[in-house]
Amino acid sequence: MKKSFLIVLAALAASGCVPAAVVGGGAYAVSAGTSERGFGGTISDTQIQLGINRRWWDADADISKRLDLTVNEGRVLITGIARDSNQKMEASRLCWEVEGVQEVINEASVDSSMTAGSFAKDSWITTKLRTFLLFDGEIAGRNYTIDTINNVVYLMGYARNQQELDRVTNHASNIDGVERVVSYVRVGNEPVESPP
């Protein structure tokens, strides 16, 4: 049933009858339903992400073009290359305006030295790590999000135990070109901290 529904939505989107965002959102919800957290947490995170994206776009459309956003259990990770320090701070401030945000981690750089080659290498690193997680039977790869900026890998999500997180971090560290791995992954039943 779900599969045929997605096929119909994809066909309508391809014909221009349905906005692509509808198909993307539907596909995200279905795949997220298979994660450890289920539909409830993901729908809330999706609503938070949409709220932040809307605020970013309304305040300064350039923020949405430059910065990437990952939301997991109300925790917001910002990566990308900000135009300047004011834009980086504004991106964080706008996140806190959205209901449900528990924490904002702003790892955006203020650097105009990124080239097309840098973006391509970052994308390659992310894809390679995602492939490692997919084929490692001891890792629930669906529980992790990966962002790579300037050869630094940012991990967010949920690890079932410390051994699993160590395996993920090890895979990331051993990819050629990775300079550093930064983890914001929660382990087991570790509680989400409330904002100050």
> What tens digit of pLDDT does each residue of 8-32 get?
334 433 333 333 333 333 322 333 3
For residue range 133-184, what is the model confidence (pLDDT) as tens digits? 999 999 999 999 999 988 999 999 999 999 999 999 999 999 999 999 999 9
CA atoms within 13 A on the CB side of 190: 13
b (16+ CB within 10 A) / e for 96-122: eebeebebbbbbbbeeeeeeeeeeebb
Assess contact for 50 and 64: CB atoms under 8 A.
no
Nearest-angstrom CA–CA distance, 51 and 94:
10
Q: Domain limits of the chain?
A: 1-32, 39-196
- The more confidently predicted of residues 41 and 154 is 154
Q: What is the pTM of this model?
A: 0.64
SS3 23: helix
Neighbours of 132 (CB within 10 A): 18
Q: How far is CA 5 from the centre of its chain?
A: 25
Which CATH class name applies to 39-196? alpha beta
